[in-house]
């Protein structure tokens, strides 16, 4: 009886889809869904800075900021954990200039004009001068008036070897869909258990990269990590389910089970 009523209600709503009421209901439902999935493009409100505040400063010594853009995240981290060394990577020359200025004024931030990838060499980047945060290896419609440029790339493993980096406490990746290639470039570091925690972004560009949230979970679980989604004042650690594959722009945390004390 209840199922029959539910189906009837769904039918009544579905037949409204092409009229104004249906459009309004759809818009409201989409907005509610985005809100409940924490689609808030503000690090102060979406829990990203709250997560950083919860980290144990005594145990966070080496941090990688991959896709650092102009350095806002690095600056915030430096403010909260001034004793940590932050290696910030931004391959676009125009954007790197601003990151380098931040680095020159803050002794704990080291700027590198490189893209981290699964191989060393060259990458073609789609750079959006007026919306640099959307710059990506992938061509997409979120940015406007993009130009193609060639940038230098290096694997995380190679960078660590060249710079005698023995471990990474926090690897933050915000590379507009290129996160999977960055992770694969740290294969040796992951295999040796030298990366303790990762903050990564998942969203609509997973369609371009063909690397879904399920693939992130599989990657991290193979190395003994637990994965959780960042919400305003908590991290929702839970097993993967297909319902989570919604392509809503979100930040996640993966932490090696041996290093939970970092939080």
What per-residue string of b and e applies to 169-181 under the rule 16 or more CB within 10 Å gives b? Answer: bbbbbbbbbbbbb
Low-confidence ranges of the chain (pLDDT < 70): 129-136, 138-146
Can you give the pLDDT at residue 134?
64
Can you give the pLDDT at residue 206?
87
Can you give the pLDDT at residue 212?
97
Can you give the pLDDT at residue 231?
97
Can you give the pLDDT at residue 126?
76
The DSSP string of 246-259 is ----EEEEEEEGGG
* Half-sphere exposure of residue 91: CA atoms within 13 angstroms, side-chain side: 26
- Find the distance separating the first CA and the last CA of the chain, reported in whole Å: 48
Domains in the chain: boundaries: 1-36, 40-117+151-262
Can you give the pLDDT at residue 239?
96
Can you give the pLDDT at residue 132?
57
Q: Using only C-alpha atoms, what is the Rg of the chain?
A: 20
CATH number for domain 40-117+151-262, candidates 3.30.70.100, 3.20.20.80, 3.40.50.920, 3.40.50.150: 3.40.50.150
């Amino acid at each position: 009886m209840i199922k029959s009523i539910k189906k009837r209600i769904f039918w009544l709503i579905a037949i409204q889809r092409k009229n104004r009421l249906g459009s309004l209901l759809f818009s409201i439902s989409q907005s509610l869904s985005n809100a409940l999935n924490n689609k808030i493009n503000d690090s102060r409100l979406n829990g990203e800075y709250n997560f950083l505040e919860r980290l144990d400063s005594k145990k966070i010594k080496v941090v990688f900021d991959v896709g650092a853009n102009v350095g806002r995240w690095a600056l915030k981290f430096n403010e909260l954990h001034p004793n940590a060394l932050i290696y910030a990577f931004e391959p676009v020359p125009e954007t790197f200039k601003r990151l380098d200025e931040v680095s020159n004024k803050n002794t704990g931030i080291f700027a590198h004009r490189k893209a981290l990838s699964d191989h060393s060499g060259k990458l073609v980047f789609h750079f959006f001068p007026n919306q640099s945060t959307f710059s990506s290896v992938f061509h997409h419609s979120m940015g406007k008036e993009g130009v193609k440029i060639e940038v230098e790339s290096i694997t995380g493993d190679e960078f660590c070897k060249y710079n005698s980096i023995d471990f990474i406490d926090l690897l933050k990746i915000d590379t507009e869909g290129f996160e999977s290639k960055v992770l694969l470039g740290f294969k040796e570091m992951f295999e040796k258990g030298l990366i303790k925690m990762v903050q990564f972004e998942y969203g609509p560009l997973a369609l371009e990269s063909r690397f879904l949230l399920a693939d992130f979970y599989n990657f991290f679980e193979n190395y003994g990590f637990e994965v959780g989604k960042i919400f305003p004042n908590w991290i929702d650690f839970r097993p993967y389910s297909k319902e989570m594959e919604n392509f809503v722009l979100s930040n996640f945390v993966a932490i090696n089970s041996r290093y939970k004390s970092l939080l």
